[in-house]
Amino acid sequence: MNRLAWAGLIVKILLIVICSLGGYLIAEQLEALSFYPWAPWGGVLVGFSFALVALFLVKLIRRIHIKILFGGTIGLLVGLSIAKLISFGFTGVENTTIRVATYVVLSCIFGYVGMVLGSVKIEELGWPSWPWLGRISARTSSAKILDTSVIIDGRIADIVEAGFLEGTLVVPEFVLQELQRIADSNDATRRVRGRRGLDILKRIQEEGLAPVRIERQDFENLSEVDAKIVALALRMNAHIVTNDFNLAKVAEVQGIRVLNINQLANALRPVVLPGEVLRLQILKEGKEQGQGIAYLEDGTMVVVENASRLLGQEVEVSVTSILQTTAGRMIFTTLKGSESGRRH
């Protein structure tokens, strides 16, 4: 558990203690309850319940987009104001109970209607054309949901440490469960990958590279982890960080911003242009007859024509063409001059 998580836990404990103690003191001082010796402890229970309700409301509100929250609040205030104005028409009623009951009913009706309409109709006001609300929206939507593939990959920790990924990293509980299943797999390779993913999360938390939040929200009606991730991103208005090509496409179709680590790696690879001369070592034979295979420092495969006889040698090659595929980039080259095959 990182420092932010510890601070949040301490604040929650303080809230529960203060509410419970406040309930005890209030119940103890009420004359109407002075005849009941158990009243102060009942006050503790009431205060404790209020603290739990407050924690639940905070958890619920955190999932609501700032646009809906703002519109609902404005609508609620307008509805309560209308209820107050209408209640003035009942000032002539002598029965206090009827006046109070009427005001409560009107407040509930107009408050509810205003809150619902405000949260729906706020969209028609041109959100987020108001600059200050746009900045708030941008901050609240900065959460990044990590899927299983990007956690196992491991590069996410280095990217966060370098400062290229900001905001809260959200790890759904169902993703953690999938990581645990992989780590407990009978297959040695899968087991190593799963344990590495858990180690990566532990490193991010312990080193404080970024705030990490375990999201316990689940979707019982969905069975696939990818579908749950998409549903969670829509609900939280969050981005998805993944290496899964299919998940990225499904999310983009639904209007979700996707950050693909593989695309970032491809974008950071050095630019190689046709005609450029490279110095490489031939490591193995290619699929076609006579071809040799070499690699750039970033792992990009280079196909060298007529170089299969030069295994283990350093050669100078000239770039002829570059092929970009979904799996990565391939560079095709030819040997440069007759002296390029000489052993160095």
Q: What is the pLDDT of residue 131?
A: 46
Q: What is the pLDDT of residue 12?
A: 83
**Distance of alpha carbon 70 from alpha carbon 72, whole angstroms:** 6
Q: What is the pLDDT of residue 137?
A: 46
CA-to-CA dists, residue 145 to 14, 233, 235, angstroms: 30, 7, 12
Residues 140-178 have pLDDT tens digits of: 446 889 998 889 988 888 888 888 887 888 888 888 889
The pair of structure tokens assigned to 67 is: 């646009």
Classify residue 22 by its DSSP letter: H
Q: What is the pLDDT of residue 301?
A: 86
Q: What is the pLDDT of residue 4?
A: 58
Q: What is the pLDDT of residue 32?
A: 60
- Residue 164 near residue 205 (C-beta atoms within 8 A): no
Domains defined along the chain, listed by start:
3-136 (no CATH), 141-267 (3.40.50.1010), 270-341 (2.40.50.140)
Under the phi-then-psi rule, with left for phi > 0, alpha for psi from -120 to 50, and beta for the rest, what region is 333? beta
| Contacts for 163 with CB less than 8 Å, ≥ 6 apart | none
Q: What is the pLDDT of residue 344?
A: 43
CA-to-CA dists, residue 57 to 62, 68, 195, 310, angstroms: 8, 15, 35, 70
Q: What is the pLDDT of residue 167?
A: 80
Closest to 330 (Cα-Cα) out of 305, 306, 303, 307: 303
Query: In the chain, which residues have pLDDT < 70?
Result: 1-5, 31-36, 61-67, 93-94, 121-142, 325-328, 337-344
Q: What is the pLDDT of residue 339?
A: 42
Q: What is the pLDDT of residue 33?
A: 59
- For 239, phi then psi, to 5°, come to -90, 160
- Residue 65 near residue 140 (C-beta atoms within 8 A): yes
Widest pairwise Cα distance in the chain: 111
- For 160, phi then psi, to 5°, come to -65, -45
